[in-house]
Amino acid sequence: MNRIGLLFIIIHLFSFITLHSLEPHGSSTVRFTSYTIDDGLITNSVYSIFQDSRGLLWFGTQDGINLFDGVEFTIIGEETSVSSGYVYSITEDERGDIIISSSSGLYRYFFETEVVEPYDMSLMSYDVRKAIAVDSGGVILSLADKGIFYFNNGQLNPLLQNLKVNDLILEANKIFVASDNGLIVFDLAGGKTEQIILKDRKIKALEKQNYILWAGSDKGLYQINLTSGEVHPCAGTDVSVTSLVSDSKSRVWTGTASEGLILSECSGPEESRSFIEGTTVLSVFIDRSDNLWVGLLGHGLKKIDIHRVGFSYLGSKEGLDNLIVVSLWEDIDQSLWIGTFGGGLYHFSSTGALLEHFTANPESSGALGDNRVMSLFRDSRGKMWIGTKNHGLYYKEKDLFIPVRGSFSSIYTVTEDKRGRIWATTQGGGIHIISQEGSLQQTIRLPDVPTLSFRTMLIEDERVYLGSIDSGLMVLDLEGTLVKHYSPESTAVHGLSGAHILSIFVSSDQTLWVGTAGGGLHRYVSESDTFQGYTTQQGMPNNTVYGILEDRQGRLWTSTNKGLALISPESMSITVFTESDGLQSNEFNSGASLSGRNGILYFGGVEGLSYFDPLVVSFNDKTPETLLTGLKINNRKISVNELVHSKVLLPKTLSALEELRLTRDELVVTFDFKSLHYSEPEKNSYAYYLDGLEPNWNYTGNSPNSTYTNLLPGVYHFRYKSASSDGVWSPEKSLRVYVKPEFHQTMIFKISLVIAIVALLLIVLQWKIRKSEEKASLLEQRVQERTVDLEQALIREKKMREILNVGERMASLVSLTVRLAHNLNTPLGSSLTALSFLKTSLESNDPNSQLIECCDMALDGTKQAVQIVHQLSRASSAQALPAPVLFNLSDVLKVYISQYWISTLKKAGIACHMDLPETESFILGSISSFQEIIDSLLGNSLQHAFTGMDEKNLDKEISLKVVYSEKVALLIYKDNGKGISNEAQTKIFEPFEGSSDSGKARGIGMGLFFVYNLIKLQFSGSIVSIHDEDGACFHMKFPLVKKEQES
């Protein structure tokens, strides 16, 4: 935000034409900033003030001298005798060094070395009141009670002797001398007095601007026209003058011996005005930022930006005994009505006189019922309406206050629609509509809105805007029907932040603005039916917006809990004004804002009423000066000529240095710089960047320093600038920074290193040639050894194949056993039944038959066969597997793949993709069996899926995805290998049926047979092979079980 500070000059205080109606309402408030010994001043008596060419301020006191950079005071020459005397005058010579005139002699402060020394030892015994440098080594001196002298080359030459000189001005070859014998004009070239003016006056101070010379005397202030020679006194300044300074408007600020500070314009229409009454002013000065500095006797320093002469104010001095202003109204005669919270109703005339004061009187039927007057409104017929906090609504007829019968007790806002009806909002009673005669016609209670409390209201044509206390913004038509409700719950949709609406305003471009309690200011965007918010993040002083007004330039003024905000709607630049600018306080009140008939804006708060004309403003466009003020190395401040790592980094002060030379020993480097604009130095802002390291500016707000660490060797330029509190940026300045490289970083070292590397490479090359010859002789021997190793490896591979074949045969035998057990189980059962029946028949017919014994033997053998078959069946069934448990399929799969398979797959060049969503469902079965299923699938893919394919041009992939439904978890396993033929698809889960004719898929059939049985027997699930052109794909279903079903 480019903040050009609009700082008020209350011109209407000096003009009886432009703002005649404003002047009588109150007084102008000038708020000075004070500095005392608590802020760093040596003493509270300041005799002289000076600003040097760099922008720094110097203050001479009765006990030494202070240097001020806007933030802190520094004592100068504390170890020298300059700190033990009165400092009457400070100036600067052509080299930029500071000349200090004191009661203990004349001194010079060498700016580059920060050293104070006597100007010349021969002058140390004199009480020097003022010095003016005229040429190299030459200076004009005013010595106490001795006159004026010219000092050069150790010689003190008299110009005017035996004269008490109070002030000097050197202009060309003339010296204007303020003395106890009048104003003397001395011709320096001719060495004689030209004339004496005001001989009967003791002239104490002089100020010159163009051809006008002002002379302050013991009898007042005089203006002298140097062209015509006319001399006339300035009205209202018949006091003993001690000091003078003129501003850019040719006004004179006059310090007096006992009457404080006087502002006057000798030849203009303005009356003189007094400030800081009852004090002794020792010195006055206006710096290049247009700040007025006032040095006082015993009371320190006072400062004010002369652009900020203040807002107009109406308070207890004008008769407003209760300062809590909550409502306002201006009549056509420009008289002002003020409602207060507890003090009743006040009426001030256009001349500023208190006309009437109405307070509550319970004993009088025509009196005001409540001293808390929350709203004021005069309708189109001239009737005044008054809303109170606890006694309802009144209208005024002559001096009687007539209550509106039936009105709710708490009335916040009163206004009128185009039909002439009066609308009033209440706290807890809805919205009243009152007839022209004053009878309550209707009370609106909105059925779809959860509140009956409304803080503010605005009627704009056919629309009624209502701001509630706790339910946001409502829009009604004139019939009282709700058209739109922007509730707190709809903030995400419409953007209106804040349930409590404090202010509503429609600007001249028909834009709706809404102020909230805590939510900031909002602008309505009709195209999207949304609000755009502006809070402290965008520059607002506070997020509580009590009032919104518009000036004649279309700018908005809002009152908050932290001052006033001036807003330009086009750029949304925000300028803040606070109590220091002359406001009644920083805290304002809702309902207490009013735009007057002549453009005057009124804002009431907790300490009275502030008002002003927004067009009567002045821009403080003074450009700040920016100065490097300090250097820190490794977080320690460095002084001039101080040794740092055995070297001097600052042979002179940093601001006078052209280049700063550093080494790698300076690991942390901090630059301190100040903006020497003194209006509001705490609000000055800064920017910097290190050219050669950073591409763009760093805007650091109010932080006036930058730190860099471990700078690489090279040349940099530290660039910096600052802005005043009004947003005016200074020109860019820069300091060259050179970081010296270490020896190993220099060009000499690099060249030497290249030569050494080349030589080393030649040596290595010769060594490699020799080694290659040795390797050639060993190559044949190693080939023979490798051949032997290869033959042995082939033998081992052959044996492994034989073992694998045996394993396959054993697997086939297991399968065969399972089948035999199944096939034998039925006939054996039938045989067992038949034998039992036969034995029973024999026992019944012939108990002693030998056939019974034969039957027993057959039964025993058959039973043994059945037992063997059952054992084989159990060995191939789930009864031989581990006990089932509940487990999360996604979690087990994710952990098992990551821990045991991911590295193997990576080595094989296979990417594994897993899509395993989180779930709270479980499957019931053996974790080890589930892991065997995964091992079989991955093993088959790893061993067989990609064999015979062009693996170099193939991105091998395996994916595992789990899809959960309400009752089933579907595990989808897929690879992008060569896949399974259509013929094999139908037999894939049968033992020995997975092998293709070529044998390339051997092992698949038996492995998937086990997978099939494990899923079916252990998990009660199923597996199918899905035909896929791009590889093998299996879908496995596992029933889901909830924890409560585990039992």
Q: What average pLDDT score do residues 549-570 get?
A: 94
Q: What percent of the chain has pLDDT over 90?
A: 61
**Given pLDDT bands bounded at 50, 70 and 90, which one contains residue 635?**
very high
pLDDT of residue 746: 66
862, 868, 872, 878 alpha-carbon torsion, rounded to 10°: 90
Give me the pLDDT at residue 807, please: 40
Q: 273 pLDDT band (50/70/90 cuts)?
A: confident
pTM of the full predicted structure? Answer: 0.60
Q: Which two tokens stand for residue 624?
A: 């700040």
- Are 36 and 23 in contact by the 8 Å Cβ rule? The answer is no
Least confident of 194-203, 499-508, 656-665, 946-955: 946-955
The CA R_g of the chain, rounded to the nearest whole Å, is: 50
Paired residues of 720 in beta bridges: 688, 733
CA 313 vs CA 503, 598, 855: distances in Å:
23, 17, 130
Per-position b or e across 42-58, b if 16+ CB within 10 A of its CB: bbbbbbbbbbbebbbbb
Q: List phi, psi (to 5°) of 822.
A: -70, -45
Q: CA–CA separation, 691 vs 683, rounded Å?
A: 26
Q: Which two tokens stand for residue 858?
A: 């057959």
Query: 């030209």: which residue's tokens?
Result: 194
Decide: 703 and 686 in contact? Cβ < 8 Å: yes
Answer for the pair 586, 558: CB distance below 8 angstroms, yes or no. Answer: no
Q: How far is CA 720 from CA 297, 675, 700, 713, 738, in A?
A: 39, 10, 11, 21, 17
pLDDT in tens, 325-369: 999 999 999 999 999 999 999 999 987 789 999 999 988 889 999
Predicted confidence at residue 17, as pLDDT, reads 29
427-441 exposure pattern, b = at least 16 Cβ within 10 A, e = fewer: bebbbbbbeeebebe
Confidence of residue 638 (pLDDT cuts 50, 70, 90): very high
Indicate whether 820 pLDDT > 90. Answer: no
Sole residue written with tokens 């062209």: 227
Regarding beta strands 733-739 and 659-662, do their DSSP bridges make them parallel or antiparallel, or are they unpaired? Answer: parallel
Per-residue pLDDT, 802: 52
- Asked whether the predicted pLDDT for residue 50 surpasses 60, the reply is yes
- Give the orientation angle of helix 1004-1019 with respect to helix 927-940, to 10 degrees: 160
Among the residue ranges 360-364, 693-697, 798-802, 983-987, the one predicted with the least confidence is 798-802
Q: Is the pLDDT of residue 995 over 50?
A: no
- What is the spatial distance between Cα 894 and Cα 1004, in angstroms, rounded to a whole number? 24
DSSP, residue by residue, 526-587 = TTTTEEEEE-GGGT-S-SBEEEEEE-TTS-EEEEETTEEEEEETTTTEEEEE-GGGT-S-S-
Taking Cα atoms as reference points, which of 101, 77, 84, 88 lies closest to residue 151?
A: 101
* Average pLDDT for 659-685: 92
The two most distant CA atoms of the chain are separated, in Å, by 177
pLDDT digits (tens, 9 = 90+) for 494-543: 999 999 999 999 999 999 999 999 999 999 999 999 999 999 999 899 99
Beta strands in 874-939 (DSSP E): 885-887, 910-915, 922-925
Q: Are 484 and 496 in contact (CB under 8 A)?
A: no
CA distance 651 to 665: 18
- What pLDDT does residue 23 have? 42
Q: CA nearest 167: which of 219, 208, 114, 107?
A: 208
The pLDDT-based confidence of 175 (bands split at 50, 70, 90) is very high
Domains defined along the chain, listed by start: 626-745 (2.60.40.10), 747-876 (no CATH), 883-1045 (3.30.565.10)
Model confidence at 744, in pLDDT bands (50, 70, 90)?
A: low
Is pLDDT of 315 > 50? yes
Res. 562 pLDDT band, cuts 50 70 90? very high
pLDDT digits 0-9 by tens, 870-900: 544 544 544 455 678 899 999 999 999 999 9
Q: How far apart are CA 898 and CA 232, in angstroms?
A: 101
Q: Would the CA dihedral through 891, 893, 896, 901 be positive or negative?
A: negative
**Could you give the angle at which helices 747-845 and 1004-1019 cross, rounded to 10 degrees?**
70
Q: Residue 211 has which token pair? A: 């051809």
pLDDT at residue 865, rounded to an integer: 67
pLDDT at 178 over 60: yes
Residue type, 315: G
What is the percentage of the chain residues whose pLDDT exceeds 70?
88
Least confident among 229-243, 335-349, 553-567: 229-243
Q: Which residues lie across from 564 on neighbouring strands?
A: 559, 577
Name the amino acid, one letter, at 168: L
Alpha carbons 117 and 530: distance in angstroms, whole number: 69
Q: What is the DSSP string of 342-362?
A: SS-EEEE-TTS-EEEEE-B-T
3-state SS assignment for residue 76: strand
SS3 645: coil
The pair of structure tokens assigned to 955 is 């991105």
Q: When comparing pLDDT for 775 and 958, which is higher?
A: 958
What is the chain's mean pLDDT, rounded? 87
Averaged pLDDT for residues 421-428: 97
pLDDT-derived band at 113, boundaries 50, 70, 90: very high
Mean pLDDT, residues 12-34 taken together: 47
* pLDDT: which is higher, 1043 or 210: 210
More confident of the two residues 749 and 810: 749
**CA–CA separation, 743 vs 749, rounded Å?**
7
Residue appearing with tokens 């930058």: 706
Alpha-carbon gap, residue 1017 to 825, rounded angstroms:
19
Question: pLDDT tier at 815 (50, 70, 90 boundaries)?
Answer: low
User: Distance between CA 809 and CA 819 in Å, rounded?
Assistant: 15
